[in-house]
Chain A
Amino acid sequence: MKATVGTTTRKAAIGIHLILIFGALLMVGPFLWMLLTSFKTLGEATQVPPIIFPKVFQWKNYADATVTLPFFTFYWNTIITTVAKVLGQMILCSIAAYAFARIEFPGRNVLFVFCLSVLMVPSQVYLLPQFLLIRDLGWLNSLEALIVPGLFSAFGTFLLRQFFLSLPKELEESAKLDGCNHIQIYFHIMLPLIKPGLIALAIFTALWSWNDLMWPLIVNSSPEKMTLSAGLASLQGQNMTHYPILMAGALLAILPMIVLFMFLQKQFVEGISLTGSK
């Protein structure tokens, strides 16, 4: 009796693996095809029926992609923007979230609902005047345009407030008796305790910043100030049909986030699960 149960579960496990492997192939297939295409000559890429592997790996496509477009400038702009937004939001959102969660002050609810209202609104509702604002500040085609509005986040404030709310009240009471002020309580006592929240925020901000298209496309049209995402869009906008070079460029653009994900898998997954449960 026991043996049959064992065999059916093993059979079930094999079935489950087969389904999951099939799904995984569908998920990874486009990436593999991107990689393989990026190493082919144009002739090999457009061969019918298609060949899977290139005869000779055309590393040249990557060099060509970086020549067709100032890729290193794009990298630099994207990295600076992402790092600045991540650090800025981690600091500003956590400070504001601390005050909203742990200090009682007049107008707290009104101001918090104000933040929430920004969170609820889709970006298209503020994008146009935001663009005019940036233009009037003289920030078009600058890194400021990419960074400064992104330093403030209703999402981040909301998320971290949830984390601060979950900490016990006794924490600051004893700290206050020891004569700590709010900045000290925030920095030395509370901040270390909401580390998972900060990591989740950092990951979300990094992903959104790295992958965002519409805003960089609108505010920065000169190649010196473009991000990777907008740069790729312009590459395709030039009606380029050299697919191997396009795929090489796309791979270069996504590689850093994929590497980051591989290293910080646990944090990515936990961060996303956390926002789901908060």
Chain B
Amino acid sequence: MEHAAQYRKKQQRRSDWLWAYVMIAPTVLGLAYFYFWPIVQTIYFSFTKWGAFGKYKWAGLDNYEKLLDDPTVWKSLGNTFVYTFLSVPVSMAISIFVAVLLNQKINGVSVYRTLYFLPVVTMPTAIAMVWKWLYHSEYGLINNLLSSFSIEGPLWINDPDIALYSLVIVAIWSTVGYNMVIFLSGLQGIPRTYYEAAQIDGAGPYRQFFRITLPLLTPTIFFVMIISMINAFQVFDIILMMIGPQNSTIDDTQSLVYLFYHHAFVVDNKGYAAAIGVILLVIILAVTIVQMRLQKKWVHYE
């Protein structure tokens, strides 16, 4: 009797396993074929040199050695860092500020939220086009507005010293809405009683912000920071669309990913492109690991 029950249980487990494998099969196989295997291949390609007709041969560390000697790589790495470490903190600061304002008891919160969120649902290609038009040195709205205050506007994306910062502005503008929505939901998770207690103790709004809001928001800040930095490291669309290969400021603005695209699909230097991809992966992993380590120092979990 007991035997039979055990047997049935075993049968049941076997059938569970079978179900599980059938259910995960499409996704696991699809990911393996279209994603995981290409990842392995990229790592392999990064040690190869590509010739005509898609032939490639083992080249050892050649690509990596060339990378280290290539000033364009270092420049684009620098551009990527400037872009990321400027746009992410500024966008986060603005979005926390806006989220705190929206978390007050005021009317029209949903209207504001909608308006701030619009860039998030907008195609980066189109965003790039309109900003290119706004930045136009002669006919652009921005310089014309500046000139009505008797300020001579810069050349924006055509000035090698300013082009990268022009892109940073666009990045901030495009990401504030997304971050703000996440911060707002983080803020709504902070119990009102904390603020009431603080008010009784006579703490003003600034004190409340730095003593209650900010510490309790740190898990959300951490999440947004990780996601934003990974996204910012991969900036490509707005560089291609606003600067593009013909503009002379491309060297001052191109990111590692743009350089990857250039070598992989424009000049057909695939081994080199693969090596850039691997470097990018290593950098993103390193930055993420550092952040994970540092989080214990400043993120408050209840």
Instruction: Enumerate chain B residues within 8 angstroms of A268, measured Cβ to Cβ.
Output: 117, 121
A13–B107 alpha-carbon span in the complex (Å)? 9
Query: Number of B interface residues, CB 8 Å?
Result: 96
CB contacts (< 8 Å) of A154 on chain B: these are 31, 35
The interface stretch among B67-75, B153-161, B277-285 is B277-285
Q: In chain B between 125 and 167, which residues have their CB closer than 8 angstroms to a CB of chain A?
A: 125-127, 129-131, 133-134, 136, 138-139, 141, 144, 147-148
The binding surface of chain A is classed by DSSP as: helix
Digitize B25-44: 1 where CB-to-A-CB distance is under 8 Å, 0 elsewhere: 01110111111111101100
B236 in contact (CB, < 8 A): yes
- Point out the residues of chain A lying under 8 angstroms from B291, CB to CB: none
Which A residues touch B98, using CB under 8 A?
20, 23
Instruction: Assess the A128–B17 pair: CB atoms within 8 A.
Output: no
Which residue of B has the minimal Cβ distance to A26? B173
In the assembled complex, which residues on chain B have CB atoms less than 8 Å from the CB atom of A237? 244
CB–CB A272/B181 < 8 A: yes
In the complex, A171 has a CB within 8 A of chain B: no
Q: Given known contacts A23-B98, A48-B138, A104-B16, is B116 in contact with A125 (CB within 8 Å)?
A: no
Main secondary structure of the interface of B (DSSP, over half): helix
Within 8 A of B (CB), among A17-68: 17, 19-20, 23-24, 26-28, 30-31, 33-34, 37, 45-50
Contact of B38 among A17, A98, A133 (CB under 8 A): A133
Complex Cα distance, B123 from A91, in Å, reads: 26
Partner of A261, one of B24, B26, B117, B129: B117
Q: Give the chain B neighbours of A31 by CB distance below 8 A.
A: 118, 122, 130
B83 at the interface (CB under 8 A from A): no
Report how far A46 CA is from B222 CA in the complex, Å.
45
Q: Evaluate contact between B241 and A233: CB separation under 8 angstroms.
A: yes
Chain A interface residue count: which class? 35 or more
Chain B contacts to A: CB under 8 angstroms: 16-17, 19-21, 23-24, 26-28, 30-39, 41-42, 45, 54, 98, 101-102, 104, 106, 108, 110, 112-127, 129-131, 133-134, 136, 138-139, 141, 144, 147-148, 173, 176-178, 181-182, 184-186, 189, 220, 223-224, 230, 233-234, 236-237, 240-241, 244, 257, 260-261, 264-265, 270, 273-274, 276-278, 280-281, 284-285, 288
